[in-house]
Structure 1
Amino acid sequence: MAKIETVYPRLVVSDGAAAIGFYVKALGAEERCRYTDNDGRIVHSEVVIGGVTVAVKDADGTDPSPDNVNGTPVILALYTDDAKAVADRMMEHGATVIFPVRDQFYGERAGRLADPFGHVWMVAQKSGDLSPDEIQRTLTG
C-alpha cells in the first residue's frame, strides 16, 4: 500500500485575499505562498495555522465556496490553550457564533463559529481528564 505523506484541508472561498487576511488576523496564520491566475484569482495559497498547512483558493466553476452550496458539512477543529480568547478574536474579525464557548460534558471548553467565508470552526481547549468510557457514559446515560 502506498504511504500517505500528508493530508491538509483546502478551503474554497468567495474572496481568497480577504480570507487569508482573516486567517492571519484572527488565527495568527502565516501565509506561505499564493498563486494567482491572469485575472488575479487565487488558484492556490497556503497558510500555516498552529503548525498545520491549510490551502485557500478562490471559488470557480469547478470548486464552489460554502456560500454557493448552502454551507459546508466540514468542521475544522482548532485546539488552543484559551478557546474564549481565540473565539473573541475571530468575532472581532467577522466570524459569527454558532455555539458559544462553554464547558462541555466531554471535558472540553468549546464553541463553534463560522468564519466570514462560510467555513465552520470548532474552537476548543481541554478542561478535564475524562476517559473514553466516561465520555461514552455521558452520551448514553
Structure 2
Amino acid sequence: MAIDNTPMLVPHLVVDDAAAALDFYARAFDAVEMVRLPGPGGKLMHAAFQINGAMLFLNDDFPEFNDGKSSTPTALGGSAVTIHLHGPDVEGRFQRALDAGATVVNPLEDQFWGDRYGVVRDPFGHQWSLAETVKEVDMDKVLAEMGNPA
C-alpha cells in the first residue's frame, strides 16, 4: 500500500460511547464508517467515517491521555464548534436527525442569506447545522441592509 499524505482538515469528535455515536451518525446523517479501532475496556481509540463525502474522526473519551480531563461536549458544558451539513432536502435530513435522537437547537427557518437553516444537538453533545439554499440573494444588498457596506 502506498503512503498517502494528501493534505486535509478533519474534525475529530470526542464522545462517551463512540460505538453508539457511529450508529447514531449512520442513522441521522447517512454516515459511512471507514475504520473502527477498539481500545481498552471496549472503548474506541479511533474511528473514521464520512458524511457528505467529508471525513470525520471519532473516539471515546480518554481523560487519562488528556491531563486527566474529559473532553466531551457534555463534560465541557457544550461545544464551541458547529458542524455544518449543506445539501438538498434539508427538511428530510433535519427530520431524520430528530428521528435518530437529535434535539432541536434552532428550528428550520428561511434565512436572509438565502438558506433554509436549522441546528440540532446530537445525543453526545455536538451541534450540527443543516441547510439548503432556497433562493439566490445579492450579498451586497444584504450587507447594506445590515449596516455593513461591502
TM-score by length of 2: 0.87
Task: Return 5+ residue gaps in structure 1 as ranges.
Answer: none
Alignment partner for residue 81 of structure 2, among 70, 74, 77? 74
Q: Which residue of 2 aligns with 1:39?
A: 41
Task: Return 5+ residue gaps in structure 2 as ranges.
Answer: none
Q: Does 1:106 align with 2:113?
A: yes
Aligned-residue offset at 1:132: 2.7
Q: Which residue of 2 aligns with 1:26?
A: 28
In the alignment, the residues of structure 2 paired with residue 66 and residue 85 of structure 1 have an alpha-carbon distance, to the nearest angstrom, of 26
In the alignment, the residues of structure 2 paired with residue 138 and residue 84 of structure 1 have an alpha-carbon distance, to the nearest angstrom, of 28
Aligned-residue offset at 1:134: 2.6
Asked if structure 1 preserves the Cα contact closer than 8 Å seen for 2:113 and 2:139, the reply is no
Q: Which residue of 1 aligns with 2:53?
A: 51
Between the two proteins, the alignment pairs up a number of residues equal to: 139
| Between 109-118 and 124-133, the greater mean CA deviation after superposition | 124-133
TM-score by length of 1: 0.92
Decide whether aligned partners of structure 1 residues 45 and 138 sit closer, same or farther in structure 2, where only a CA change above 3 A counts.
farther
Asked if structure 1 preserves the Cα contact closer than 8 Å seen for 2:78 and 2:125, the reply is yes
In the alignment, the residues of structure 1 paired with residue 145 and residue 24 of structure 2 have an alpha-carbon distance, to the nearest angstrom, of 36
Deviation per CA, 1:72-105: give whole Å up to 9, x if none. 0001010020111111000001100011111011
Q: Which residue of 2 aligns with 1:60?
A: 62
RMSD: 1.6
Q: Does 1:137 align with 2:144?
A: yes
Asked if structure 2 preserves the Cα contact closer than 8 Å seen for 1:105 and 1:138, the reply is no
Q: Which residue of 1 aligns with 2:130?
A: 123
Q: Does 1:86 align with 2:99?
A: no
Query: For 1:140, what is the secondary structure of its paired residue?
Result: coil
